[in-house]
A and B are shown apart, each in its own frame.
Chain A
């Protein structure tokens, strides 16, 4: 029992060796390009020339597609259907179902938006697969993000699974004392309190103890912090970040200029 909320897969690849911030900027660049670049086929092109090659470069091709499809297919599919049916544009009706109709324009529109979402989710998936959360946070802390903020993010990723496990223990404990958790809706709703109470109050006590424990280990020390792992940040990283940043600005600018 030590699952955690992290997609990260430890591999040795070019993508893994990039600086976490570079990867974050890369992710944002892909998203901005997909959403703002004023050309219909941009999201599709990005998948071909960026997302697929990057998943190979990061040596996470299989894991990437498994995770991405699980996350995207329902969302993008739903979005596609909604927009295809309800987008009131176009006149060229190609499908009719009672009062709902699909025009070729609404179909194209829906397809583009579904692909945009696809790019967004897959860019983030790639980022999470190849970036260790604590590496990202120590890099951001080094660049001036407050340590407390980084701690909250990182510890939440680990503590949520622990709390889920604890909730399960409490449920089992209360059920063994006869608490009804699987009959009618109203009975089950009544069972929530004896489950939530111990979880919430227990967690508050835990928070106090954890605060003492990390304080005892110099958490609020005014010394400049150091980091156990060296985080790569090469000249290549810096140049790449500037190029990507320029691309984002260019894409947004082009969009504004043309509209």
Chain B
């Protein structure tokens, strides 16, 4: 039985005419790292909100089908219970800062205070989470004085510290430099190895290919393609439908047209490209 189970999920925001999600069927096993890609307006964020319980509990609107995580149905739960199991971090880091705390350390502890974790345990957990994401040196800074990338790390840490069973990330590295992005992917991979299930919306194809187990491509609210990163991220259908591809894939594609790429499979990462051009 899958850890995350979406059955015929369809959803329409209030005051809109078309469905933001339609006919979504998705199973994710425990400890799997699934990446979600898709153009703007494809329903990526809505899918995140649905997994995290905000669709429909927060946004209302019309929903049909089932959202099930760890054997529990979203429709039969309340949002405050649901978030204990499912953590959500999204793109804009500035709006994820609670505003109620004056230092990064307090900011990360905010969620633990809310769910009543005892003080000593809280401190250990915050310290652990900060060293995991590499922000221990920011502990005493004001969250508002940080750069966008640093704020994104704080937002991610604030969710990780709550130890959700399912981690939902909506473009968590959009303001990070390449090194930061790589580190965050590494952290997320590690959490998956330790049994946390991850669904992550991202555009950075190389890193998806490096770290994710599976890729879901969304288009106009529906699952358009699904499979291993190597298959999905190099498929012609994907490119023809306006999805972005990694630069290594596009180079090898051009090379293939001119007979310079001998392998059958196109690369997504630098390593694969180097290997293929040898």
Given contact pairs A212-B58, A226-B113, A228-B106, A155 touches B99 in the complex (Cβ within 8 A): yes
Q: Using Cβ atoms and an 8 Å threshold, which residues of chain B touch A134?
A: 100-102, 106
Given contact pairs A158-B99, A224-B116, A218 touches B83 in the complex (Cβ within 8 A): yes
CA A217 to CA B100, docked complex, whole Å: 13
CA A246 to CA B155, docked complex, whole Å: 47
Q: Is the CB of B112 within 8 A of A213?
A: no
Q: Is the CB of A209 within 8 A of B115?
A: no
Q: Is the CB of A216 within 8 A of B116?
A: no
Taking residues whose C-beta sits less than 8 angstroms from the other chain, chain B's interface range is 35 or more
Q: Is the CB of B145 within 8 A of A2?
A: yes
CA A224 to CA B88, docked complex, whole Å: 22
Q: Is the CB of A228 within 8 A of B113?
A: yes
Given contact pairs A134-B102, A216-B88, A220-B80, A228 touches B116 in the complex (Cβ within 8 A): no
Given contact pairs A2-B142, A4-B102, A212-B54, A219 touches B95 in the complex (Cβ within 8 A): no
CA A231 to CA B86, docked complex, whole Å: 31
Q: Does B122 contact A (CB under 8 A)?
A: yes
Q: Using Cβ atoms and an 8 Å threshold, which residues of chain A touch B158?
A: 217
A172, chain B: closest CB distance, angstroms: 18
A214, chain B: closest CB distance, angstroms: 5
Q: Is the CB of A215 within 8 A of B58?
A: yes
Q: Whose C-beta in chain A lies nearest to the C-beta of B52?
A: A216
Option from A219, A226, A229 in Cβ contact (under 8 Å) with B116: A226
CA A88 to CA B271, docked complex, whole Å: 91
Q: Is the CB of A212 within 8 A of B83?
A: no
Option from B87, B97, B113, B142 in Cβ contact (under 8 Å) with A4: B142
For B77-100 the 0/1 string (1 means CB < 8 A from A) is 001100110011110101111111
Q: Using Cβ atoms and an 8 Å threshold, which residues of chain B touch A225?
A: 113-114, 116
Option from A1, A159, A216, A217 in Cβ contact (under 8 Å) with B99: A159
Q: Is the CB of A218 within 8 A of B111?
A: yes
For A235-247 the 0/1 string (1 means CB < 8 A from B) is 0000000000000
Q: Whose C-beta in chain A lies nearest to the C-beta of B141?
A: A2
Q: Using Cβ atoms and an 8 Å threshold, which residues of chain A touch B58?
A: 211-212, 215
CA A4 to CA B100, docked complex, whole Å: 12
A5, chain B: closest CB distance, angstroms: 11
B96, chain A: closest CB distance, angstroms: 4
Option from B49, B90, B105, B114 in Cβ contact (under 8 Å) with A217: B114
A160, chain B: closest CB distance, angstroms: 10
Q: Using Cβ atoms and an 8 Å threshold, which residues of chain A touch B122?
A: 226, 228
Q: Does A223 contact B (CB under 8 A)?
A: yes
Q: Does B10 contact A (CB under 8 A)?
A: no
For B102-138 the 0/1 string (1 means CB < 8 A from A) is 1001100111111111110011000000000000000
Q: Is the CB of B54 within 8 A of A228?
A: no
Option from B87, B92, B114 in Cβ contact (under 8 Å) with A221: B114
B114, chain A: closest CB distance, angstroms: 4
Q: Is the CB of A216 within 8 A of B87?
A: yes
Q: Does B162 contact A (CB under 8 A)?
A: yes
Q: Can you list 12 residue pairs at the A/B interface with Cβ under 8 Å?
A: A4-B102, A4-B142, A158-B102, A211-B58, A212-B49, A213-B95, A217-B98, A217-B162, A220-B79, A221-B114, A228-B109, A228-B112
Known: A210-B95, A215-B83. 15 other contacts (CB 8 A): A132-B102, A134-B106, A154-B99, A155-B100, A158-B102, A212-B88, A213-B95, A215-B54, A216-B88, A217-B158, A218-B80, A219-B114, A221-B115, A223-B114, A227-B119
The 7 closest A-B pairs by CB, nearest first: A217-B111, A155-B99, A223-B116, A2-B145, A209-B95, A218-B114, A213-B96
- Which B residues are within 8 Å of any A CB, using their own CB? 49, 52, 54, 58, 79-80, 83-84, 87-90, 92, 94-102, 105-106, 109-119, 122-123, 142, 144-145, 155, 158-159, 162
